[in-house]
Structure 1
């Protein structure tokens, strides 16, 4: 729609409609909308001057979040073309199949009108369940990676990135990544300054790009074997007290020998070595971030103490963790210098 030559231009640059699933994740919704709120006005005054946000519903009844807090819709579903983006905020896995027919129809109307669709938390699951993610990449949390693979065929989730932008589908894993995806939209439509301001007020240091890894536990070992993926995910979810191979096999309901055969066939590694690689990968990720001592990193990655981590790290990498950290810092500093000149 073009502005009339004798009327002032509409200052709104970004209009977002929210569709909240039953038992949606409150933090994912709150982080996203707070970035919009803070970018919309000067300071912390919250006036929807530069962008607007509306919660949509089939009725005006409150929508209950997974923590029990309800959010009352602002308006009925209506015409999706009044928004620049429609954001679907998911939540608990077992609610995905209960997507309301009116919600699915609304999302299809939005797609037909070429309104970009955003999936937050398990919102990607909901979009795919509605048949709106075929041929698209989507971002899911490393925590829900296995859930996605078990429920959906023909779509490969990305669980090692903070968010994914694939044409008119944008997806993120929820939590803090919701703020970063919202900041990406603010940067795109309003400007980098408002995007950074929003994150800084929310005590988030810098905006993360789509290619940045998800905070937490990356899947460095790639495999199509469901049993091996489940074993690696079990390790990742218990990194500070890593289970042994026999314990993992028992939890998965298979023999140790069967688990070893699957690891050998898919990764060419015994499970114990693969588990150690994952723990060391996590240790390197933590070393690349400021503020953690070697002792803290050792505790978070399941080593007995700092000396144990140092010994294993040196045997594998050829240098100590502290030497590796300094080398990474020097490389980053050099890269910044090259960027300046």
Structure 2
């Protein structure tokens, strides 16, 4: 996962036209180490005083049975005060937690391990439904592709939005998923088994601004309303009304995070009656008001370029 994120910094150098980032890979003893796919990777030993701007810590496939080596924990505790920032990608957050770096901070990890992190480290405010979280100098992300979002956010902070957009374009990435965005996709969670229900959901997602009655959706896939409701619930585990509200909320959240449109406009575009109706559904679905999500997204994008970092992982 950290090897994938290195591409973000590589292309940031290419887009900037200079070697802004210098990448190094470290391991406790140095030398050749093996990835989870048994790919050999050269590394530098964690010895002596190492001055690094940014540490990015990799995770393991199962942090519950693969505890981090004591040497890494001791090194992170000693090094943390000297680094500008430290990040844990995916289950790398468990390494930061074991080193005591996440105490009294907000953090995230892969959704599958979120509850276990909270159980093991009650002093951490675990938000296991976030793409990534920045709490002061500590960055944590969800699984695999979220590490790319975290790396792209670092590039945007260091080099600005234009360079980040260039990198995202070259890597065929969305520019960029905000940290507060949910790890889950409503369409993936629904996972319909038949093309008919999939087509109905695709139609709904493209027409969220309209009423989207059961009769309308059933007609699009040539079923009676009764048949449609029965098959839809059987395949997705949700009623059509609940599923459509989930799609509306997901679309509204993306617009709140990524645009400057007023909430009245967002409510209208995503099929809510008005901003009050949007707020009620938002609090019910996410446990947070839309204004709070917008404030968080804006805070993430306000920091400008910093000193030239030597990224290490």
Q: Is this a same-fold pair by TM over 0.5?
A: yes
User: Which among 18, 33, 40 is matched to residue 6 of structure 2?
Assistant: 33
Structure 1 residues 192 and 81: alpha-carbon distance in aligned structure 2, compared to 1, 3 A threshold:
farther
| Equivalent pair of 2:55/2:83 in contact (CA under 8 Å) | no
In 1, distance between residues paired with 2:88 and 2:235?
42
Map residues 21-60 of structure 1 onto 2, 5 A cutoff.
Answer: 28-42=1-15, 49-60=19-30
Structure 1 residues 34 and 82: alpha-carbon distance in aligned structure 2, compared to 1, 3 A threshold:
same
| Equivalent pair of 2:54/2:83 in contact (CA under 8 Å) | no
User: Which among 22, 26, 31 is matched to residue 61 of structure 1?
Assistant: 31
The 4+ residue runs of structure 1 with deviation greater than 6 A are 306-309
Structure 1 residues 305 and 41: alpha-carbon distance in aligned structure 2, compared to 1, 3 A threshold:
same
Mind listing any 5+ residue stretches in structure 2 that lack a counterpart? 194-200, 209-216, 219-229, 264-313
Q: Which residue of 2 aligns with 1:87?
A: 56
In 2, distance between residues paired with 1:83 and 1:289?
49
Q: Which residue of 2 aligns with 1:211?
A: 180
Once the 2 structures are TM-superposed, how far is the Cα of residue 113 of structure 1 from its aligned partner? 1.9
Once the 2 structures are TM-superposed, how far is the Cα of residue 95 of structure 1 from its aligned partner? 6.7
User: Which among 97, 101, 111 is matched to residue 132 of structure 1?
Assistant: 101
- Alignment RMSD, CA only? 4.3
Q: Secondary structure at the match of 2:166?
A: helix
In 2, distance between residues paired with 1:177 and 1:165?
13
In 1, distance between residues paired with 2:135 and 2:207?
29
Matched, 1:190 2:159: yes
After superposition, give the CA deviation of every residue in 1:223-281 in whole Å (9 maximum; x if it has no partner): xxxxxxxxxxxxx98x6489xxxxxxxxxxxxxxxxxxxxxxxxxxxxxxxxxxxxxxx
Q: Which residue of 2 aligns with 1:116?
A: 85
Once the 2 structures are TM-superposed, how far is the Cα of residue 159 of structure 1 from its aligned partner? 1.2
TM-score by length of 2: 0.61
User: Higher relative contact order at CA 8 Å, sep ≥6: structure 1 or structure 2?
Assistant: 2
Structure 1 residues 328 and 211: alpha-carbon distance in aligned structure 2, compared to 1, 3 A threshold:
closer
Once the 2 structures are TM-superposed, how far is the Cα of residue 204 of structure 1 from its aligned partner? 1.0
The number of equivalent residue pairs is 233
Structure 1 residues 289 and 137: alpha-carbon distance in aligned structure 2, compared to 1, 3 A threshold:
farther
